[in-house]
Amino acid sequence: MGHATINSGAFRGKLAALRDYGLVSGRGESLEITPIGRRIAIPETEAERRAALQEAFTKTVFGAVYEESVKGSPISIESIGRRAVNRLGVAPGSHGSFGEVFTRSASAAGLAETTGDGKITLFAKPYAGATGADPSGSTAGTPIATPAAAQLPSAGLKISTPVLDQRSPFPDGEVALIVTTNRPLSAKDFASIGVVVGEIERLVAGLTRRDDCA
């Protein structure tokens, strides 16, 4: 992912984002691409990849906003952010960021297109065909890209309380990292969390080894 070390906050932030979309699983040194991640990374057809991108998108917090939003007509990106504040508990100060991230992710998944005037048009239903046909006739040229960390719900947005609840199981229990806050987390916050996660993973590895020895 373009980083020299797996211990950097930037790398861990991207890894957390991939987990949010369900593209990777596992802990510590043992990670693997999930079935949906494989369909995106190594698809048999472009239609399969597009369908997998849409599935990953709709399984995140963005899915609820997509389902209840108007399809086929331009809507304000700002209004999407306001809806997230009212319905999902997104911090008011992050409503603009939420709308922008939602827009990039929906476009990357082939579920929307932007008009360049602060509005987005959502397609009526996910594209699931295998013929390469366009669901709305207006998506030619829409980029199809694996969602990057900047497009994911973990990229600095306060989605709910707690804003972070990560649990790392080992044979006799689990180690939990829970963060609650009344403000959005900054990039520096996530970098610090990445360091803590690294220490937790080492702790869990040690606890697992002791259980194996027992």
Domain locations along the chain = 9-21+159-213, 36-151
Residue 120: CB atoms within 10 Å:
22
Say what the pTM is: 0.54
Q: 156: closest CA among 121, 131, 193? A: 193
Q: Quote the tokens at residue 198.
A: 């690294």
Q: Quote the tokens at residue 174.
A: 């689990």
Percent of the chain whose predicted confidence (pLDDT) is above 70: 72
As a whole number of angstroms, the distance between CA 78 and CA 157 comes to 15
Q: Quote the tokens at residue 35.
A: 């079935």
Model confidence over 139-168: pLDDT tens digits? 333 333 334 443 444 444 444 444 566 777
As a whole number of angstroms, the distance between CA 87 and CA 119 comes to 20
Q: H-helix or E-strand containing 179?
A: strand 173-179
Q: Quote the pLDDT of residue 159.
A: 44
